[in-house]
Amino acid sequence: MSKNIVIKAENISKQYRLGQVGTGTLSHDLKRWWALARGKEDPYLKIGEENDRTKKAVGDYAWALKDINFEVAQGDTLGIIGKNGAGKSTLLKLLSRVTSPSTGTIKVKGRIASLLEVGTGFHPELTGRENIFLNGAILGMSKKEIASKFDEIVDFSGVEMYIDTPVKRYSSGMYVRLAFGVAAHLEPEILIVDEVLAVGDAEFQKKCLGKMGDVASDGRTIIFVSHNMQAVQSLCKSALYLKAGQVVDSGRTDKVINNYLSREVKNKMHSQWDNSEDAPGNEHIRLLGAEIISDLPNIIDPITVKTKLRMKFEFINFTDNTNINLSLSLYTVTGNCIFNVGTASKPLRKGEKYYGELEIPGNFLNDDIYTVQLLFVKDLSTVILNIEDIFVFEVFDEQRAGNWFGKWQGAVRPSFKFSLNNE
């Protein structure tokens, strides 16, 4: 009984009504009211669909969260991960008491403050100084607390010069910094943070994460929601993986993150065509198989920026004595071409199998999702087969030293020799 539980969620579910509010809602409300008045259960809590956004809903109700149970101990940092629509934001809304669950209870010990969105309640006409006080009070601080932290907040946000100017004249960066400054100086027992990393420049991100680290090391509890696995990995001791409103996995962060990555990232790295009808190709060339082989010890491990990759294509040639060469282009998911490489042209015999192989060294690709296009070129001039998206794969960032987790700049991330020396 050494663990001091500060948040305990028991069977919480949240149901949302789909579609518009109209006369249909009124009749449902009346039926619900009638059921409750007779001491029966809410009839609409029994129905509802799983939250799958890809399908069109059939009924009128959907469960954003369904039977969630978890506990958070004091001083823990819990990361909540999951794809868009998994129910992360709904869970945070429940925790921050913005709305209440349809069933179940959450028990909380201590004051919760949330940074669901910084700058809540900022009034554009008020000056920076006035907004610090108003925003601080909205977030649950007393006037005295704010006054004692005032200088720190101004210092943190770096807007001292404009502190008596209405915030509507601020640049968006100044506005966000001031807003985050107030929120960062709250001293709640439990802090809820949602995607702060999306805001501000690298310098500011570093400040924010540093501040969160301070909060955590003070023995206070943090609940952190982010898409950035690196940030979750380094900040959180434990994690909760949500999918379609349900808990898929929880526990140690690295275990949960690995589970998440293996389930959610749909890579296309291995293709084998047994039936030549389905295989990409034409009367000249037909593919037999394509795969990416990594040097990772475990095949389910994610490819990182350090991983060495080998791409291998097997195909069969149908025309006699043609000079063929392969040309491969690597694109980022957004469509930028990173490189294009080609083999030498080679005369191929009819009906024989050949294979092409390309090696991409480690420490070359940046973290991104990549697609590969493969061309078969005849006589170094005519494209006889073009296969787009033969591979789709994601390269993950490495665990970095230091506090900055933003996107690493650049199309590639080579590790050239670059040193800092003493003369």
Identity of the residue, 111 or 407, whose beta carbon is nearer to other proteins in the bound complex: 111
Please pick, from the candidates 27, 105, 336, 386, the single residue that binds other proteins as defined by CB under 8 A. 105
**Stretch of 55-63, 133-141, 174-182, 354-362 contacting other proteins, by CB under 8 A:** 133-141
Which residues is 221 bridged to in the sheet? Answer: 190
**Stretch of 129-137, 210-218, 372-380, 410-418 contacting other proteins, by CB under 8 A:** 129-137
For 188-321, strand residue ranges (E) read 190-194, 221-225, 238-243, 246-252, 270-272, 285-294, 309-317
Quick one: CA torsion of 20, 24, 27, 30, rounded to 10 degrees?
A: -10
**Best CA proximity match to 323, nearest among 381, 385, 375, 374:** 381
Identity of the residue, 108 or 392, whose beta carbon is nearer to other proteins in the bound complex: 108
Measure the CA–CA gap between 82 and 371, rounded to whole angstroms: 23
Place of tokens 């919760």: 112
CB of 145 vs other proteins, minimal distance in Å: 9
Identity of the residue, 172 or 422, whose beta carbon is nearer to other proteins in the bound complex: 172
Identity of the residue, 25 or 171, whose beta carbon is nearer to other proteins in the bound complex: 25
DSSP alpha helix (H) spans, 63-186: 88-95, 128-138, 143-157, 172-184
**Stretch of 18-26, 53-61, 79-87, 316-324 contacting other proteins, by CB under 8 A:** 18-26
**Stretch of 109-117, 200-208, 212-220, 366-374 contacting other proteins, by CB under 8 A:** 109-117
Identity of the residue, 99 or 336, whose beta carbon is nearer to other proteins in the bound complex: 99
Residue 142 interacts with other proteins (CB under 8 A)?
yes
Measure the CA–CA gap between 155 and 181, rounded to whole angstroms: 9
Among residue numbers 66 through 95, which ones bind other proteins (CB under 8 A)? 71, 93-95
Work out whether strand 285-294 and strand 5-17 pair parallel, antiparallel, or are unpaired. unpaired
Please pick, from the candidates 65, 72, 116, 212, the single residue that binds other proteins as defined by CB under 8 A. 116
> Is residue 318 classed as helix, strand or coil in its secondary structure?
coil
Residue 338 interacts with other proteins (CB under 8 A)?
no
CB of 121 vs other proteins, minimal distance in Å: 5
Residue 16 interacts with other proteins (CB under 8 A)?
yes
- Measure CA of the first residue to CA of the last residue in the chain; give whole Å: 58
The 8 Å CB, 24+ separation contacts for 166-173 are 166/124, 166/125, 166/126, 166/127, 167/122, 167/123, 167/124, 167/126, 167/127, 167/128, 167/131, 168/124, 168/125, 170/128, 173/200, 173/201
Identity of the residue, 139 or 269, whose beta carbon is nearer to other proteins in the bound complex: 139
**Best CA proximity match to 65, nearest among 81, 79, 77, 48:** 48
Contact 277, 285 (CB under 8 A): no
Residues 28-67, mask of contacts with other proteins (x by CB under 8 A): -x--------------------------------------
Identity of the residue, 106 or 256, whose beta carbon is nearer to other proteins in the bound complex: 106
Measure the CA–CA gap between 386 and 264, rounded to whole angstroms: 29
The site for other proteins, by CB under 8 A, has a size of 50
**Stretch of 114-122, 208-216, 230-238, 345-353 contacting other proteins, by CB under 8 A:** 114-122
Contact 10, 105 (CB under 8 A): yes
**What is the binding site for other proteins (CB under 8 A)?**
1, 3, 5, 8, 16-17, 21, 25-26, 29, 71, 93-112, 114, 116-117, 120-121, 123, 125-126, 130, 133-134, 137-143, 166
